[in-house]
A and B are shown apart, each in its own frame.
Chain A
Amino acid sequence: MALLEISGLCVRFGGLKALDAIDLSVERGQFVAVIGPNGAGKTTLFSVIAGALKPSAGTVRFEGKEVQGSLPAHMSHLGVRRSFQVPRPFSSMTVRENVRVSAAGRNILHTFRCLAPCAQDGPIEKGVDEVLEQVGLSAQSERRAGELTMGELRRLEIARALSSRPSLLLLDEPAAGIGVDGIAPLAELIRSVRRTGLTIMLVEHYVGFALALADRAVVLDEGRKIAEGVPDEVRGNERVIDAYLGKDGSRSPRPKIAEGDRP
């Protein structure tokens, strides 16, 4: 049984079809990249899986159970965690506090244990230390999240998502805005997370970055799935190249600029 199974998923915003009859399944332990040009519906897909958006039609099954339309907090407790495209730290809290509060599961937050002091939970503190170590934020643990750089914020996003030991991790453009120097360490971090056996879905704008990491890629364009396969297949797929560059190259501004530059 696939960990995540999506069938016939549609999301409409008024007249706009953001997602149109998407079928997709993710096996346990897989690393799936979701790529596609701007407005393809990648983040919309993530929002539906994470429970932030209710689909107009279709089903999302997680571990066999239908979960479409569940609240984000519920999905989080089921084991689906996401990082946000634009980092959303708890700015007034320290890095450690950010991760700690994210590590509390349902058995704390939904019971009277929520009235227990949060810094004195041995197993949780140990887990927080491990996650901070894993993402490389141990040295920053006492800094306020509001003071972090973009690269550190991306790591904090991942740390928060990992803190509850999820079974499905959704990474929404983790490489956006961190600069060329940050890319390689980030890729290394994602690989190390991968090695723990965690199932990962990655939405990414940098196609090369995503395809280098993933073992399967799904390509979306204008809300539809246009291709799926191992990275090499996808790379050579005609429809994918068309989607990115346009059939006549009209979608990409680059050829035009190049022509204009020519003497």
Chain B
Amino acid sequence: MVVGVTIAIYAMLSVALNIVVGYAGQPNLAQSAFLGLGAYFAAVLSTRYHIGFWWTIPISFGVAGTAGFILGAISLRLREDFLAITTIGLNFVVVAAFQYVPFFGGAVGIYSIPLPSIGGRQFGNLDFLVTAACMLVLVVASSKYLERTWLGASLTALRDDESASSSVGIPVASYKVVAFTLSAAFAGMAGSIYAPFLSAVTPTSFGFTESVVILSMLIFGGVGTIRGALLGALVLGALPEVFRFISNFRLLTFGLILLLMLRFQPQGLAGDASAASRFIRNALAPLRQGSGPRRSRG
């Protein structure tokens, strides 16, 4: 059940990251910083100000969303690799803030975060799992809905060609900011359950390497698709738990997987043009005959 909650949190992060990286095509290596902001605000508010868990959810959502808004606004002047480096920098800045700003409890972090309670009863692992699953459903549903909206279509358009997008009237700048804001806000929401679940937050848990882990999940599963983001989080989230020996070499394993995927299957395992999804589509094709042409993204 503990693994389930971990995977659900990772899944939220990678599905949220997909909004910026997959739909809008902007690199973002600061996803764990947004998770951290959400987790830290939840931790500080619940330990120091005794604000209940349910209230910390929207607050973490809002705080991380605001940070995402700021990163999005910065990103307008930057492109591709420069933006990627800027996001890495932002991740370090946020971690440094956790370490040195007294409000965040310094280098040791914040401990004994109270368990959330529901109806006067304290959360058990099952409650965490159910809550995390509900949050994940919310993130996936919003993401799924976003794909169908004008905003979603416009984000895809600006990923494919920015000049062409603005020539057809798409407000490229504001939509990029919206994508960063949404993605960060969902990551912050994941943070609000992360903190009480682990009962402690430390600055190092939200470092740049953690952002790379989240991005690896998305790339492993397939950038641009929700199913890819979910699959990546499931496989790479479960891997260290199932094969204990991997957890010692977690980053090494993830790094290798990332390299191999980018070299041999950059669409990811379940991406639109990946070998696996082509195979499945072809296998299912006879069943779909007569149901008319189907959009290829899912």
| A, B co-complexed | yes
What is the interface of chain A, defined by CB distance below 8 A to chain B? 50, 52, 71-73, 76-77, 81-82, 84, 88-94, 97-98, 100-102, 104-106, 108-110, 113-119, 142, 144, 160-161, 163-164
Contact A72 B167 (CB under 8 A): yes
User: A144: nearest residue on chain B (CB-CB)?
Assistant: B296
Which of A73, A104, A113, A161 makes the CB contact (< 8 A) with B172?
A: A73
- Binary flags per residue of B46-83, CB closer than 8 Å to A gives 1, else 0: 00000000000000000000000000000000000000
Contact B153 A89 (CB under 8 A): no
User: A84: nearest residue on chain B (CB-CB)?
Assistant: B164
CB distance from B23 to the nearest CB of A (A): 10
Using A115-B149, A116-B149, A118-B148 as known contacts, say yes or no to A109 and B160 having CB atoms under 8 A apart: no
CB distance from A168 to the nearest CB of B (A): 13
Contact A89 B164 (CB under 8 A): yes
What is the interface of chain B, defined by CB distance below 8 A to chain A? 145, 148-154, 156-157, 159-161, 163-172, 224, 272, 293, 295-297
A64, B21: Cα distance in complex, Å? 42
A114, B161: Cα distance in complex, Å? 19
Contact A81 B149 (CB under 8 A): no
User: B294: nearest residue on chain A (CB-CB)?
Assistant: A142
List of A residues within 8 angstroms of B171 by Cβ: 73, 109-110
User: A102: nearest residue on chain B (CB-CB)?
Assistant: B168
CB distance from B109 to the nearest CB of A (A): 38
Using A89-B160, A100-B153, A117-B148 as known contacts, say yes or no to A106 and B169 having CB atoms under 8 A apart: yes
CB distance from A6 to the nearest CB of B (A): 19
User: A82: nearest residue on chain B (CB-CB)?
Assistant: B167
Contact A101 B168 (CB under 8 A): yes
A/B interface sample: 11 pairs, CB < 8 A: A76-B167, A84-B164, A93-B157, A93-B160, A97-B153, A102-B169, A109-B154, A114-B150, A114-B154, A118-B148, A118-B149
CB distance from A80 to the nearest CB of B (A): 9
Using A93-B157, A97-B153 as known contacts, say yes or no to A52 and B148 having CB atoms under 8 A apart: no
Which of B145, B154, B161, B272 makes the CB contact (< 8 A) with A88?
A: B161
Which of B152, B163, B293 makes the CB contact (< 8 A) with A72?
A: B163
List of A residues within 8 angstroms of B224 by Cβ: 92
CB distance from A16 to the nearest CB of B (A): 22
User: B158: nearest residue on chain A (CB-CB)?
Assistant: A90
A104, B293: Cα distance in complex, Å? 24
List of A residues within 8 angstroms of B151 by Cβ: 114-115
User: Top 9 A-B pairs ranked by shortest CB distance?
Assistant: A76-B169, A102-B168, A88-B164, A90-B160, A72-B166, A142-B293, A114-B150, A117-B148, A114-B151
List of B residues within 8 angstroms of A93 by Cβ: 153, 156-157, 160
User: B295: nearest residue on chain A (CB-CB)?
Assistant: A94
Using A109-B150, A118-B150 as known contacts, say yes or no to A73 and B160 having CB atoms under 8 A apart: no
Contact A91 B169 (CB under 8 A): no
Give the most central of A94, A102, A106: most B CB within 10 Å.
A102
A84, B163: Cα distance in complex, Å? 10
Using A71-B166, A73-B169, A119-B148 as known contacts, say yes or no to A101 and B161 having CB atoms under 8 A apart: no
Contact B160 A91 (CB under 8 A): yes
User: B174: nearest residue on chain A (CB-CB)?
Assistant: A110
A144, B296: Cα distance in complex, Å? 9
Which of B149, B164, B167, B295 makes the CB contact (< 8 A) with A114?
A: B149
A52, B154: Cα distance in complex, Å? 19
Contact B164 A104 (CB under 8 A): no
A110, B296: Cα distance in complex, Å? 28
User: A100: nearest residue on chain B (CB-CB)?
Assistant: B153
List of B residues within 8 angstroms of A90 by Cβ: 156-157, 160-161, 164-165
List of A residues within 8 angstroms of B157 by Cβ: 90, 93, 98, 101
A119, B161: Cα distance in complex, Å? 21
A237, B128: Cα distance in complex, Å? 82
User: B172: nearest residue on chain A (CB-CB)?
Assistant: A73
A98, B165: Cα distance in complex, Å? 10
**A84-B163, A118-B152, A144-B296 given. 9 additional CB < 8 A pairs?**
A81-B168, A82-B167, A89-B161, A92-B297, A97-B153, A106-B169, A119-B148, A160-B164, A161-B168
CB distance from A123 to the nearest CB of B (A): 14
Using A52-B167, A72-B167, A110-B171 as known contacts, say yes or no to A104 and B150 having CB atoms under 8 A apart: yes
A92, B164: Cα distance in complex, Å? 14
Contact A108 B150 (CB under 8 A): yes
Which of B156, B169, B172, B297 makes the CB contact (< 8 A) with A77?
A: B169
